[in-house]
A and B are shown apart, each in its own frame.
Chain A
Amino acid sequence: MSARRTAARPARRSVSLVVGAVFVGIVVVTAVVSLFWLPFSLYDTTGGRLTPPGAAHWLGTDTLGRDLAAQLLVGARIALATGLGAVLLGGVLGTAIGLVAAFARPWLDDTLSAVLDIVIAFPTLLVAMLLVAARGASLGTAIVAIGLVMSAVVARIVRILARRVLRQDYVTAARTSGTSWFGIVTQHVLPNAWPTLAVNLALQFGLAVLAEASLSYLGLGAPPPNASWGRMLQDAQQTAFEAPAGVVAPGLALVVLVIGANLLADGLRDVADPTRRGRGATRGRVSRLQTGPVAAATETEATDGRPA
């Protein structure tokens, strides 16, 4: 029975992993293609105002006569760059702050937590506007703004996860065997925090993509001629009923990337956490105490069937 469960679970799980990977993969391939080839240049305004989708212009053109398909391709690049950049910045900065808070004395921990709460309460857009006012609108500014706000969320999660790990007996055991705090962080805290953190970072990736779209929509993202899905939506807003492709295409692209990131997060969690991979095996193990070799064989099977 436990063997069947073990076999069934990964199969069900891998659906979200595969669909997520395909969705994100489509966007990644699109972004890579845009680096080498575009149907039209972003500066090319010869397409005519609001040409409907057709053989030459697959998605039609915008009010300035620029090809929408070309903008969509470049937008994929911008969306991925923002998502990855913000997750990298937010993840590294947030993990560092979270670890400091987890190890800190109560007064420092309280201070940090209060600061984090304030940062989280600040709308991302407001932070971005402040930064844009100071540094001017650019993709970099958008990434920094989104990453900073994200780091506060990540820090709070890492702090809780680290605290939970630090309470465990195996940390005490590691300390008694003379492991330094640095060793405990790298060997025990981070690996045990990673499954939860990774899922959260993937969700944050999706949020970052949406945040960038919002910023671009408000004109606070990457300036033209860089095409962002958010700015495409803004451009097409006035003519949404005349030329629906201009709104539907970037909107769908956003949905595909964000849903893809979330599904991928769900699937990756099960790969990152061996205790989840083996739920069925754990049950087999319990029954092994009573039933001996039969359940033991089941468990070996489950163990061997696991990806290394």
Chain B
Amino acid sequence: MTPAVQVTDLRITTADGAVLVDGVTFAVGDGERLGIVGESGSGKSLTALAVQGLLPAGLTATGSVRVGDVEVVGAPERTLRGVRGRAVAPVFQEPMTALDPLMRAGDQIAEPLRRHRGLRGAALRDAVLEAVTDVALPEPDRVVRSYPWELSGGQRQRVAIAMALACRPRVLIADEPTTALDVTVQAQVLDLLDRAVADRGMGLLFISHDLPVVARTVDRVLVLEHGRTVEEGPVQDVVRSPAQPYTQRLVGSARALQDALDAGRKGA
């Protein structure tokens, strides 16, 4: 069976020729969890957008991005509309901008359900409530009627995840889904993502600059620097024995934080 997402030699260039992503190759199969790590500007978010055929105007992708049996690079909007949501669905970094401030949470979750699963009326209402319950939101009835600003950051992100899960995609694309959240809420949202992916046998493309978060969430990891893959492999191997200087720096700074925490504990 073809992998849910197969990216081969992806290059993303601007109109004036600058190369932002250079020859990135990876695959995410059903039930597989792949992390992409790198600092700001390393091209990780652009890669995620390219997978959905959502590159901003002015950027061009070459190479190949196959989602299921569909080639996304160069595909017309009509083809992409079938791919997005059904095959791949995104969870964004900033839960405030990921939800329309003037639309009730329930209506936003209902939108993909209506479009992709053709649900209407009572069936639609039930599916929305089910989606809200699935992401462990308390008081689903109240959440459905709430505007985004009436929800906390963690709750908003849960609503965004419910929207992404609603279409039952093969691969969930999470671009820094926990960066804007408190650390305690972060752990809850990560647990939720773990469970959602495992229960449904979905693939997960998890993008983050935060190596410890990636290490706890994914199986394999891809390290990007300036648009190039510098290291790739099972996440334990990469964290335990990073081969490349850039990866060593990433691991080193994560360990330094860990050490600081240990030292603080000893001091107290």
Q: Which residues of A contact B (CB under 8 A)?
A: 105, 168-170, 172-180, 187-188, 191-192, 273-275, 278, 281-282, 285-286, 288-289, 299, 303
Contact = CB atoms under 8 A, between A and B. Distances in A.
Given A192-B102, A274-B102, A176 B84 contact: yes
Which 3 A-B residue pairs are closest in the complex by CB-CB distance? Answer: A177-B112, A176-B84, A169-B92
Given A178-B84, A275-B147, A289-B152, A170 B115 contact: no
Interface stretch (B93-101, B123-131, B221-229, B260-268): B93-101
Given A178-B81, A278-B150, A282-B149, A170 B98 contact: yes
B103 A187 contact: yes
Contacts of B82: 178
B112 A178 contact: yes
B54 A172 contact: yes
B163 interface: yes
Contacts of B182: 289
B151 interface: yes
Interface centre among B52, B85, B100, B149, by most chain A C-beta atoms within 10 angstroms, is B100
Contacts of B84: 175-178
19 contacts: A169-B93, A170-B98, A173-B98, A173-B163, A176-B54, A176-B89, A178-B81, A178-B82, A178-B115, A179-B115, A188-B103, A191-B100, A274-B101, A275-B101, A275-B149, A278-B150, A281-B149, A282-B149, A286-B152
Contact of B100 (A175, A180, A188, A303): A188
A162 to B, nearest CB: 14
Interface centre among A105, A191, A274, by most chain B C-beta atoms within 10 angstroms, is A274
Contact of A170 (B86, B89, B99): B99
Contacts of B102: 191-192, 273-275
B98 A191 contact: no
Nearest to A276: B149
B167 interface: yes
Interface centre among B57, B116, B147, B167, by most chain A C-beta atoms within 10 angstroms, is B147
A275 B115 CA distance: 27
Nearest to B111: A177
A281 to B, nearest CB: 6
B133 interface: no
B35 interface: no
Contacts, number: 91
Nearest to B173: A176
A178 B85 contact: yes
Given A177-B167, A178-B81, A281-B149, 19 more contacts: A168-B97, A170-B108, A172-B92, A173-B92, A173-B164, A174-B111, A177-B84, A177-B112, A177-B115, A177-B116, A178-B85, A178-B115, A191-B100, A275-B102, A278-B147, A285-B149, A286-B152, A288-B152, A303-B150
Contacts of A289: 152, 182
B187 to A, nearest CB: 14
Interface in B153-182: 160, 163-164, 166-167, 182
Contact of B54 (A105, A175, A192): A175
B203 interface: no
A299 B92 contact: no
A191 B99 CA distance: 13
Nearest to B90: A176
Contacts of A176: 52, 54, 84-85, 88-90
Interface centre among B84, B86, B151, B152, by most chain A C-beta atoms within 10 angstroms, is B84
A173 B152 contact: no
A50 B82 CA distance: 76
Nearest to B102: A191
A268 B169 CA distance: 41
A169 B94 contact: yes
A289 B93 CA distance: 20
Nearest to B182: A289
Nearest to B87: A176
B19 to A, nearest CB: 22
Interface centre among B88, B94, B152, by most chain A C-beta atoms within 10 angstroms, is B152
Nearest to B85: A177
